[in-house]
Structure 1
Amino acid sequence: MAAACLLESGCLVTVFVKDAGGEADGTGGGSGSVGSDDQVSQETGSSASTSGTTGEPTSEGFGVTVDVDFDLGEQEDWNSCSLVRVPCDGDSEDIDHALGINCDGGLQTEGALTWSGPAGSRLVVDQVLGTTEVYAPTEGSRRVALSTGDASHLLLTLPEMPDLGNCPVSQTCPSTDWPGADLDELPPPMVAKAKQCEEDEPVGVPGDCSQTIESQWLLGGDMMKAYDYTELRFSAVAPLGTAGFAFDFAFLTAEFPPRFPGGYNDLFVAWVASERYTGNIALDPDGNPIGAVTLPYTIKLDEMPAGCGDECVDIPLREFAFEGRAGTAWYQSEIGIDPGESIEVVFALFDVGDAIVDSVVLLDGVRWQCAPPPSSL
């Protein structure tokens, strides 16, 4: 177990190591999903509490995660909680079901799950990615991909990219620009400006308690523009007895290493607004935000001996779109919540610096937790 403090934010940060959880067009929605293409939702939300987790590869298939947990208040009693989730994406291509949402025993949204951004930027994926099970779903049989480009290109191999992915071999691929999908600011309730968050601070003050978004976004230059913006969002009320919210994610980018170092820091933000915390909770084991050029990638193309075989660290990226690029393993992010409170969650992904060269985030296993994050015990 290791401990670290995130940017001296005043939040309690505890790092734990533990095991992680284990093609259809996602533009349509089922009974629990509603889409809004090529425009950004402007719903407002309450404010909230947070914790993140990440992982590094192991010889058994990159299955170790590290939990970064920060908590801003005491937890209520959770000993009576009992959650039995039943995956419901076996025969469903709905985005919410692929995430593990609105299934029996699982997290139920308050209203419909919504999305905005280009229709092609999201995809429900049941295919194997590459030659390993590293990016297999963590729950059920499907996961959701959000992309700053065309999400379906995730399934292509590099030889297929020039024709099927409209990306010449002379360019860094995959790469798609979505004209008209660029924003000058993040949609409410997200506010990129960093703020200091203390336990007794009143909720509802605009800003990011993680203090990660603004500094990372500025790496793309003084003109902070969210290129090729895409998002998923939902609200939910925590059942009585529950004490945490969690989800799994993996980040893949074509920006690294071809355009590193540079300001093309494509950014994944997992915004949570609740009664005790408001801000980004997507972090790596060291508290780094999930940005294309800021992560210490453990799955990437390294210089290898000529005879490099199955021991190469980039094996999980081979034979799909991010071969020779970089990615993380599945990470788990979790936060403490108050039973009975309403939270708003926004999964947002956007290009930083320019609108070309794609990054993808895989999402799965959205869930309530009976036990609070370790720092809340």
Structure 2
Amino acid sequence: MQKIIFYAAVLLLTLISKVSAQQTSFEGRAKQISKRIDSIVRAEKQILKEQVYVIDKNLEEGIITKSEAMNLKQKAADESAKTIEAKVIVEQQKLEALIQDKINGLVQYDTIKKRRGTTIIIGGNSRDSIDDATEIHLGSFKIYNGEKDKIRKKSKRTTSQFVFAAGLNNVITEGEDFENSDYRVWGSHFYEWGSTYNTRIFKNNNLLHAKYGFSVMYNNLRPTENRFFVKNGEQTELQTGSVNFNESRFRNVYLVVPMHLEFDFTPRKTNKDGDTYFRTHESFRLGIGGYGGVRIKSKQILKYEVDDTKIKDKQKGDFNVSNYIYGLSAYIGYRQTSLYVKYDLNTMFKNNTIEQNNISLGIRFDFN
């Protein structure tokens, strides 16, 4: 028992020493300071470049004279140099302290190579990867091999997303309101899933995007008062069941092409090298547009009991449901989550005397 404790202690001390060596590595800490200095210089140069661009623009438009422009440029350059000097001095002091710690034997050279590892992301957004670490995004079905690969893929002018939405579903009936609806408000739901592409419309502006793709929509209605749908010629009516239904559900499934003009307020980013790039789905978003498609199938599901025997009756057919669907939709939200509403402009049934249009309200996820 004492030997086991002794070997365990030795193993623990060995691990601690390795972790300590990694954390106090001279080369690693010096490299971090060097990267910060380089990042400071590049960022300030980019700021100066933008200031000079504005000055030249004002000169071109006649707002300022050539002499004023030269003075403003010199002033901006002096301020930029002072800012760089002040920030770099702080890093130089850290480097001097690190060198002194090395002389005093408080830091060591690299003894082990840092493992990059793999991170699994359930949602669709996260911070930039660290160095060469691999990120697996389950929500968007994407893999990023390190920070550079992630920036390259996510800053493309056209990106792709996996979309999932769910919420309440009902119909707007001519002359009725939701309080007197023929369908359960909280029991009727919709689901939607699909894939979209998001294209930045302007090359150097991130506000406007064209969002398009395809989706499968499931619109479910649960009638009230123990009723179910019956097809009578060209009319489809609700009738009261002769048995007590445990569930009465009517489902229409559609394959649609959604198209939206999306306003994305994600600001532009700057990487470690001072280069600017654009991202999407990292701030407030607003989408306005519509959809159009075809009906795949209609189904009615009835569940009830007869003599203690549970029966599930599935009825498939067209039920006089419109073969085509088109409507308006919009969403507003933050990052990947949005409040989503859609309204069918076509009536649900082709020839019913009373017009009914499907409407849905729910939550939408765009996993980027």
- TM, length-normalised to structure 1: 0.21
Higher normalized helix content (fraction of residues) = 2
**Which structure would you say has the larger Rg?**
2
Higher normalized strand content (fraction of residues) = 2
- TM, length-normalised to structure 2: 0.21
